[in-house]
Structures are given as C-alpha cells and as structure tokens.
Amino acid sequence: MFLTHPIDVDQSIPRTRESRYNPDVSKALSTVARGTVALLVLAACRLDTIESEGELGRPIALASGDELDLPRLLLRNEPCPGSAGGCSEVCTGPPESCAADACVPLLIDTASPITVLADDSLDVSTAERTCFEVRPGENLLASELDAQAQEQAVTRFRFDSVPVLRLPSSTASPWDWAIGTSEVETHVGGILGGNVLRNFAVRILHRRDIVSGELLDYQVALSREFPGSEETLADRGRAFLPVQFPGRLLGKEITDVCTSNGENCDFVGAFEIDNQREQSALLATRMLLDSCISPPPAAVTYNELNNTCQLSPGKQFAEDTYLSATGRIESGSDASGCDTLPSSDDAEFAAFAGKSATLMVATGVPGLVVFRDSALRMFGGIEQLPLCSIRLPDVPVTQAPPACYDGELDRLEIPGWPAATGLQRLKVRSVALVEGLTTTAGPSPCKRLESRMHGLREQCAGALRSSDPNPLPVEASCVGASATSAAVMGEVSLPEGDPTPDPARWITATVVPETHPMVEALRRDISPDALQLDGLIGTALFDDTDVVLDYTDESPGVRMRCLNPDSGKCLAMPMCSPDTEDPSQPVPRCCQGLPRDLIVDLIRFDGLYSCCAALSEPVRQELNNHAERDGLTPPCPQSNDV
C-alpha cells in the first residue's frame, strides 16, 4: 500500500515520515500553523489533475478465471495511444518474467494511496505524470486462454496526466508484486491506487448464479458522479454508508509533502500553484467504516397465520430466541430497540453480541483482515475458540460462539508491503457496516445496527396495517432508526430447515500481527483523526453484491445492494423515509429488507407495486411468470438490474 512510516526525530525540528520501501515516498510535515494553512487553501487554485477517456458508467469485465476474487483489470505497459486489438498474451508471473508486449493484471486497491506500475528497466523508483490504458479480462486468468476473450480485451479506458510511481522489478524491491495468499497466489504488473480512484464513483458488481453459486458477472464501472438522488438510490436497494467521523477521506494532510528519491512528487500545474497539493502522488484516499463484527443472526420474519412481524434468528425461530446486536434485548418484538442512545457494553449476553470495530476498505486483500490485538479484544484467546472444522457446540443459537478458529496460514500478500507470515485464521459470523457518526461521540456501531434492525421490524408492522398498508414505522420512536442505513454480510440469518449456525456461511478473517509494518504505518497515518483501526475489509464486500465506492459524494462512503437478499447471506437496509410529496404513498426504499413472502403478498393482494423493487431479479421474474400463466398482467414489469 506504499504507506508512510514514522521515524523518531527531535520534536523541536520539523517531523518527517519516511517510507521503508522503494519508492522512498516521504511526507515532510510543515511546521506552518493550521490556521495559516487554512488561509492558503482558500487562495489555492484547484485543477483537475487527471484526464480520463472512455465510457463513464459502462461496465468493464474484471479479470477472472483463477481462484482469486481480487478485482483486476489488464494493462499493457506501453505509451498512449496503445496497441490496437486485444491481448495475444497474458502474463501472471513476476513482472520481470513477462514479455514486453504481454498484458499484465492491474490490481484495483483502495488501500494503496498511489498508483504504481512495474518497470523492469528501472534500478530505482521514479515519480512521473503519465498515461496508461486498461482492458477487460474476463476469463483471461484461466490456465487455458479463451481466444474470443483475448480478442475482446481491447482498450476500454484511458487515464492521462496521472501522477504515478514506477517501481523496479521484484529483484530490487521488497515487494515481489505478488497478491493473494500462500494457498492461492499470483502476480500483478501494477496497482490502480487511491489517487486515481478518488476521482470516481467506483462500482463493482459481483453476481452469482442463484442456484449453483457459479460466478456470472464480475465487473467495474467508473462514474464522475454516481447518478440518482439519495431517495432514488435507496429505492433501488442501495444502503449508503458514509465513512466514519470526521466524514472525509483520510491519509494525507495539506501540509504533507511528497518526495521520491529526493525529487518532489507534488506536481504543479501551469500556474505553479498547488497549495492544496491536489496534484500530488500522495492524497487522502482511505475510507474508514464503522462496523459491527459477528452480531447474532437476525432477520425480520413474517407469520402469515398471525399476520405479525418479529425479529428472530430465522423463519423457524420464535421471537424469544432473538438476541440483539449489543446483547441487551432478548425479545424480537421489543420496540425499545429503536432507541439510538449510547448503551453500555455490560449486557448480560455481551459475550455473544457483536463487536464494534473500525475497518478500512482495502480491495487488494482477500476476505477480511483483523489485527491481532483487536482480535484478542473481541474474541479473547484465538486458540481457545472452537474449531471451524467440527460441529459448533449444541447451545441456543444466540449463544453460539461469535467466531471459530480456522487454522494457520503461511503467508498473506499485502500490496506494497512485505508478506505477513505465520498467521492464524478465524471465521466470523458476519460483518455489519453502519453509517458513520456526524459528531465525535454517539452510539456504538453495534448499537446503531441494533436500532436499524428494530426499525426494520417496525417497517414490517406498518406494512401489515389492516387499512392503508404502508411499510413506514408504526412506532414514532422508530422513525429516526429507520431513516438510517446499514448492511450485513455473512450468516445474516439462519436458512429455513437449518437451525444450526454453519461456519461454511461465515466470513474468513486473517489475523495479522499489530507489529507488522503495514499495521503500524496505517494506524499512525490516520491518527489522530480516526479511531484506532481494527482491520481491513477486502473482497468480503464482493459476494453477490453491487457495491459503489463513492469518492465523489460530499460525504464519501459505500453504497451496497444485495443481489440475492433471500439467501440469508446479505441484508441491505437503505434509509426508509416517506415520500416527500405524498407521505401516505408507499415508497420502494421502505420495502427493502422485508421478508420476501410479505413483499409478494403486498404486491399480489394489496397492490403495493412499489415493493417490486425490493425483490431479487429471479423472484421478480417468477412472480411475473406466475401472473401470466393465470392470464393476468405481470405486476412487476421493470427489471431490478439497474
């Protein structure tokens, strides 16, 4: 991730933070007072430093064919405009082993603040403004290349005037361009880093077959601004999760200076004015999210016989088996759960509750990474956890362990850093992401998740009103909770017919020692603006989801939509707010996250066609087909694949 690393210096002189690695990126902190800097910023000339050519918003197929889900495009290391045609050769070995005209993978890594390209002709790193082009890579990482896919791997997007770092091959660098783990490892020829990504809303769609689980689509699209109002995006099932307080990207202050091998990489424009250093190779790029790790399984379920809604671990469970995310509430019909006031962590069942954490979005690492000191805080002794390979203890479902021990891992490759070795692995029940606070203090992430889940239950109750059904909260105390967003991945709830938690549905987390230089550097780099970092959320974000990493919003954050909400492995709860023109009119956003059987009943028997947007695409099609067989007009003609 090519981060800065502090060194001990005399505090009476300006402090310099040096990188341990080539490209020897350093950030010299000016001693100018922040008040003076603020005046300079007001006078600064903002210049658009990166030019892009391509079809904004149009999907580009990500590279696929191997066993890694890390998002990659293809790149041919040549000047712009590049060669016409596709990729006659694809090289996934170390960059120095690749032919000059071969296409090489380019890793999309949000945790790397700098875009980096391999250049085997160099002995030392160099910073420059340059141009490069990216290509699709569907099925081009397989052992046998698809000739048609090779032909289709033509240039789809060009980035021009980009501040990049060119690095020598692995023989002269402590990072050998490897990605993945000791179990599944490959190489890349570059990293598309945060200094480019922060100019876009980056949409990554990962779709599986609803029956076989086979990967159907894996694609990325870049937009200068993600289209749609907040209400419209929520209607489409997108839960918007702004970054943690202070509500902005982190990683570089205006007073930080970038140098590479003694040369300035704070590039300036035509007027030689760049007081905000917008043209630097180093920029604030990091997204930190408030999260709740391993909350007890919970879903809103619908009892057709009693015409009631409840929170429970799954459809076959009674409401008295429910345990809230904080461990405070044991009834799935308790409206007090909507309370958004901060709560203590001394709940009776705190040991089985979720664990609040700060995670950084890092698309270049597989699954989830938890730092060891944070793992010990959350789960206690790692080796004392039950083994994931054996059946979990036969206890009430809400008192099942929140994590299990999944053995050892020889090596985790971390882009831009020496590999982390001799590691342990866990599986955690699930990971929930919630909106960042707008103030310095407030309810914990797990308390915010608890409130949002109870708000969803109240939306369900509103939909069951005998007259004028409308999925708005019935209880006034739940209006505020329902107006927030949250998303949960992993074993969100237990599927019907399977009353036992199953680690096969859990999320794999690699435990990295807090003494690893990457962890130390990251924690220092975001301090004191953020809470202490507990880990990285990587490809755990991309599992049958449609995710937008929205750098362009005034409040940067993640927009998440679940493509198969009925699986029990993903739950997106966008904000639920009344229609601004007619509050009595049901709106799609308040149907999102409700039980499928209830949504179908609302459409078929109550005419709430706005709820069609809350169905997965296969269910929508099935509902239409059923209506056509009965000689009726399809109730949900509009596709939800948007």
DSSP of 183-223:
SSEEE-SEEE-HHHHTTSEEEEEEEE-TTT--EEEEEEEEE
* Structural tokens at position 518: 């990457």
What pLDDT does residue 475 have?
86
Q: Are 641 and 615 in contact (CB under 8 A)?
A: no
Reference 234, options 560, 520, 529; nearest CA is: 560
Question: Within a 10 A sphere around the Cβ of 246, how many other Cβ atoms?
Answer: 14
pLDDT band (50, 70, 90) for residue 280: low
d(Cα 528, Cα 426) in Å, to the nearest integer?
29
* Structural tokens at position 335: 């409206």
pLDDT band (50, 70, 90) for residue 18: very low
d(Cα 475, Cα 460) in Å, to the nearest integer?
11
* Structural tokens at position 210: 């609803």
What pLDDT does residue 574 have?
98
- Whether 14 shows a pLDDT value over 70: the answer reads no
What pLDDT does residue 320 have?
84
d(Cα 232, Cα 575) in Å, to the nearest integer?
11
d(Cα 640, Cα 642) in Å, to the nearest integer?
6
Residues 6+ apart with CB under 8 A from 193: 2, 109, 112, 113, 114, 115, 116, 285
- Whether 249 shows a pLDDT value over 80: the answer reads yes
Exposed/middle/buried for 621, CB within 10 Å: 0-12, 13-18, 19+?
middle
- Whether 275 shows a pLDDT value over 50: the answer reads no
Residue 76 gets the label, from left (phi > 0), alpha (psi -120 to 50) or beta, of beta
pLDDT band (50, 70, 90) for residue 594: very high
Question: Within a 10 A sphere around the Cβ of 337, how many other Cβ atoms?
Answer: 27
- Whether 11 shows a pLDDT value over 70: the answer reads no
Reference 397, options 498, 470, 490; nearest CA is: 498
| pLDDT one-digit tens code per residue, 473-508 | 988 889 999 999 999 999 999 988 777 888 999 999
d(Cα 198, Cα 224) in Å, to the nearest integer?
10
Amino acid at 439: T
Cα 86 vs. chain centroid, distance in angstroms?
Answer: 31
For residues 531-543, average pLDDT: 95
The residues pairing with 117 across neighbouring beta strands, listed in sequence order, are 166, 190
- Whether 34 shows a pLDDT value over 70: the answer reads no
Q: Kindly report the CA angle at 416 between 190 and 139, in degrees rounded to 5?
A: 40
- Whether 546 shows a pLDDT value over 80: the answer reads yes
Q: Are 73 and 60 in contact (CB under 8 A)?
A: yes
pLDDT band (50, 70, 90) for residue 171: low
Q: 499 preceded by cis ω (within 30°)?
A: no
What pLDDT does residue 624 have?
95
What pLDDT does residue 127 have?
84
- DSSP assignment of 519-531, as one string? HHHHHHHHTTTSP
Q: Are 80 and 148 in contact (CB under 8 A)?
A: no
Alpha helices in 133-284 (DSSP H): 147-152, 194-197, 230-235
Average pLDDT, the chain: 85
What pLDDT does residue 1 have?
46
d(Cα 101, Cα 104) in Å, to the nearest integer?
9
Cα 178 vs. chain centroid, distance in angstroms?
Answer: 22
Torsion angle, alpha carbons of 527, 531, 536, 539, to 10 = -120
